[in-house]
Structure formats: C-alpha cells, structure tokens
Structure 1
Amino acid sequence: MQGSVILRLPLIVGLLSLLAACASGPRAGGLPVVDDPAPIVAGTMRPYQVRGRWYRPEEQPRYDERGLASWYGDQHHGRPTATGERFDMNALTAAHKTLPLPGLVEVTNLANGQRVIVRINDRGPFVDGRIIDLSRAAADSLGLRGSGVGEVRVRYLGPAPRLGGGSRLQQASLERPADGPAAPDAFWIQAGAFSDREAARRVADRLGEQATVADGDRLYRVLVGPWPDPNAAEQARQAVIARGYADALLISSR
C-alpha cells in the first residue's frame, strides 16, 4: 500500500500542468455550465423593504459568504416564489435576499463538508445572521434538516437554467479505471465538471490514465485517482489549490 502511494505521488506534477486546460470553456472546480440561462426577473432587482430594513439586489459575481442557513417546507409548498415559480419543497431551491433571480449558488455545510447546488428563486430569509433559506430537499442533502439551522458557505455561480439546475455534488457514481476496481476506501480529486460528456472525456484523456468520467445529475465530472491513502490525496489536492484551483474537491468512494 505504501509503495503504491509513493508511485502515484510523482504523477501530481504532471497533473498540475494539465489541469490548467480545465479553466477554458466550462468553469473549473466542479461548477456547472448553463448554456441557456433564464432571464433575470426584472422586478426582483428593485430595492425593497422588509420590517423597516432596505435590501438592494444587485449582480454579485464574486459573492462568497459564510453565515447561517435555515430551511422552509410544508407551510410554503406550492406557493409562488419571487420569480413567479411555485415553491417545491422537494426540489433543490433556496431563497436569498439580494442575489439575482433566478440564479445558482453552491452551498457547503461547514460542519460536514456536504455540498449542493441550488436554484435561488425567492427572497429571504429576513432574520439577522441568516444568509440563505433552503428548501427541505436542500436541507436534507446538506444534513441540516434535523438541526434546523447550520453554518454554511454560499458561493454565487451565475444565472440559473430555464428549468432546474440543482444537483447534489457528492453523490456521483464513480466509473472505475480500466485497470480494475478501486479499493473500497479509495480517494479521488474532482478536477472539473461539464455539461457535455465529450468535453469531459477530452479533459480526462488529457489528464492521463488516472482520470475518469463520472456521470452525475446533469453533469459529467472528471475525477483523478484513486489514492488509497487520504493523506496522499490531500497533498495532491493542496498542490492543485496552490496552482489556483481553490475548489479542487477530495471525494471518497465509500
């Protein structure tokens, strides 16, 4: 086991130079590509007042905040959202006070590392310290429903597609490399995600024999590995981050 880890580590240097190719076209770091974005609902971009406080929605391409997330469900199910869409507590959606609607955000539960992409189509939550209000399904995906409130990181990804856009980022089914099955406790690095399978396959081919393509929910993820030792995999991930890919993701196959 130790020997196999040592043999894989020199490949990190080669991977770093090839990962730069992921930055063109689809966005790097496992982010989705929206080819047919829904138009921003103009009325949702006007300043508005709730409980005596003014909120001013605006384009925020660099939005990346940490704060508390809450969730809402049965009492709002089926009601219209700020965009005019019907709230579906079983869909991966959320409410935000100032980001463009509809849009996509990546939400990370800072307690367990679970990540999900949600479609923001409503305004809220209007409680101090809370930065996003999740649907029941999104809260379930992040492991937050039981606690009701949890600390999260929210990153704006851009416009939402005309329909849907939500995805659970850590539930992809892994394709095994051609040289045989991975160990039960194998660890992978997610190098990027693409809406087109052929684009993902081309990147995987450039990354070499340790790269494979995993079919996810509307996305094809390029995974590199496996590493049987999480410490070696983390070293590889940190090397990728040092080269400017701050969203490189370590995934366990278990």
Structure 2
Amino acid sequence: MNKASKTQTAKQDGPTPHYKIGNPYEIFGIWYYPERDLNYDETGIASWYGAADAGKPTANGEIFDHQLISAAHKTLPLPSVVRITNLENGRSIAVRVNDRGPFVAGRIIDLSEEGARVLGFRDQGIARVRVQLLAEESLRLEREAKNGNFPMLSELEQPELPKTQAAKVPESVLTLDNGQTLGGGSDALSAIEIINNSRSANLLESTATPTEIWIQVGAFRNKSNAETVLLRVLDITKGEISSFDNGIDILHRVRLGPISSVEDADNVLLSVINRGYQGSKIILE
C-alpha cells in the first residue's frame, strides 16, 4: 500500500476488514471495555508504532501501513475518526482509528509513524495530547464499513449540507499541501472539508497549551468513597479530591499530582495499578 492509498473492501485477499466494537477483553491483567462513545474527549500521553508492524493486520482486519496516518485505540469502534491535538506544539490532525492499543499503562493512543511525524513527536517518541471523537465522520465510516467499504478520510464524499450562516471561527491556521493557508478569517470549514482539501491529512496549527500531569485513580458519586481511596494511595505521592458536575451527577475524582514528568507519572501510575486500581490513567490539565 502506498500513500495514494485506495479504498479497502471486504473483497481483498488476506484478512477481511470489518466494522468492530468488540467484547470486553483482558491484556496484561487489565480489562478494557470497547464502546461507541460519540462524546469521547480525553487527554493523555500518545506514542507511536512503525515499520516493525507494517503489513500486519489491524484489529479490524485492515493492513497496517506505517507510512499512512492512522491510530490505535483501546476502546473506540473501528474504524472511527478522532482529532488529535499535540498540546506541546499546537498541531492538530484528523486521524482514522483502525487498530487496538497501545497496551502500555499511561498511554491513551498509538499513532502510526507518519501520524507522529506530522504531529511533531516522532523523534521524542511520546507527546501530551487531546483526543476528540469526530461523531459525524465516525458515523459515516461506520455506515461505509457495514456496507463492506473502508475508505481513507480523503476518499469520503462530502455530504450535501444546507446553506447556513458561517459562525465565527477561531484564529487558527490550516496549512494545505500546496502551501495555501486558511483560517483566522471568514473561512468556515467542516472537518470533512478540512480533510478533503488535501491528499494527506491537513494540519491545523495553533499555540501550545501548558499542562500539568495527574494520575486519576477513580471517579465516585459518593464523596466518602473517594476519601477512602485517596487515603489508600496518599503514601505514593500527594493528591486531592476534585469534584465536578458532568451534567448528570456530581463526581468526585481522586487524583495524584501534579507530577513533573511523564517518566515520574508512569512510575506513580504503576504503583497505583499495583494497589489494585487498574482503571487508573494519566490525565492532563
């Protein structure tokens, strides 16, 4: 497969691509629960995988190509579309998710080598990121996949939309392959339009976002339960209970931190997991 990739269909030889959510599964003693979450919006640490896995089938039966932009996620449907923002440099791209992983504690998503290159962290190996599901695009890929078609993002046909008054857009810059830049003015582009403006993933560039690293041990409706858990992990490092309204309930989050580096956060996370809190994760604020 080359960068001018063609639509994969269920008729190809070898593994048969298919739409997949999947059942709960266990890897290295940790359980994962795939689900269709159209409101998915999380922060964490991204990593990447490359040539060593090239040519191998992905979790939904496609063929992995490290020279194409794609990603692996532990629970999102396959395929899905997410917007990944590198919070360290402000770069953001839409990415097609078609694989499972990364199965390393403290990592939220695994990009292909090309994806990591475009987002600017291939050499350093990891980056602080925000991952947001693009619901409209994901639902369109789901419909295509259930009909046996597995197009790249640039191959999706643009939907016919009613004419509307464009809302004011943020002052970010869209850089196209031909060097043209859009944004910061009256250009109002949907995510699909952004993707289809170029043969490769378009890059949105904004300013970097300063973040602090925390370990979220759990979130509880009952504050006394949160207080009990916090007491059990406070000997690892400092922590707190942070309460917020998610629109349905008041949730009380047990968090350890802030932590100065990803390496230190990995060590703290491992200690928390070893205490039995397997759902713990790294978050950024």
TM-score normalised over the length of structure 1: 0.54
Q: Secondary structure at the match of 1:120?
A: strand
| Moved >3 Å (runs of 4+) | 173-177, 186-190
* 1:68 pairs with 2:45: yes
Alpha carbons of 1:194 and 1:68: their partners in 2 closer, same or farther (altered >3 Å)? closer
Counterparts of 1:105-254 in structure 2, within 5 Å, are 105-158=82-135, 159=138, 160=141, 162-165=150-153, 170-172=174-176, 173=178, 187-188=184-185, 190-193=187-190, 195=192, 216-217=197-198
Residue number in structure 1 paired with 2:19? 41
CA distance in 2, matches of 1:60, 1:130: 19
CA distance in 1, matches of 2:109, 2:90: 17
Tell me if the contact between 1:117 and 1:166 (Cα under 8 Å) persists in the aligned partners. no
Structure 1 alignment gaps of length 5 or more: 1-37, 178-185, 197-212, 222-229, 231-254
CA distance in 1, matches of 2:45, 2:180: 35
Percent identity, aligned pairs only, is: 43
1:133 shift after superposition: 0.1
CA distance in 1, matches of 2:196, 2:179: 7
1:217 shift after superposition: 2.0
Q: Secondary structure at the match of 2:88?
A: coil
Q: Secondary structure at the match of 1:45?
A: coil
The C-alpha deviation readout for 1:49-84, integer Å capped at 9, x for no partner, is 101111110011000011000000011011000010
CA distance in 1, matches of 2:103, 2:181: 46
Structure 2 alignment gaps of length 5 or more: 1-9, 11-16, 145-149, 156-172, 207-285
User: What amino acid maps onto 2:43 in structure 1?
Assistant: R
The C-alpha deviation readout for 1:171-196, integer Å capped at 9, x for no partner, is 2257699xxxxxxxx95465222757
TM-score normalised over the length of structure 2: 0.49
Number of residue-to-residue matches in the alignment: 158
Tell me if the contact between 2:70 and 2:111 (Cα under 8 Å) persists in the aligned partners. yes
Greater RCO, CA 8 A, separation 6+: 1
* 1:84 pairs with 2:66: no
